Amino acid sequence: MNTQKHFVLCIDNSGYEASLITRKMYQVIPDEQAEKDDLIRIIDESSEDYLYHASHFVFIALPAEIERVLAVA
């Protein structure tokens, strides 16, 4: 997993239709232990942070300026 990138795009919400929206971008919350198990921690649609398998997402690279603005929002 590339820890340089801090945002993921949901590509599969199977089994989590109420918690994840496909084609929506989520900010990754760093969690080294979760990454070892191929999991990603995000704040989902319930406004709580949860772990999901990495296969539900693809990491996306954003320009630094956009990452800064989104991280504050």
Domain count, the chain: 1
Domain annotation covers residue 2: no
Cα(52)–Cα(55) distance, integer angstroms: 8
Contacts for 26 with CB less than 8 Å, ≥ 6 apart: 7, 8, 9, 10, 20, 42, 43, 44, 57
Q: Are 57 and 21 in contact (CB under 8 A)?
A: no
pTM equals 0.84
Domain annotation covers residue 1: no
Give the structural domain span for 11.
7-72
pLDDT at 3 over 60: no
Q: Tell how strand 25-29 and strand 39-43 pair up.
A: antiparallel
Average pLDDT over residues 58-67: 91
Domain annotation covers residue 32: yes
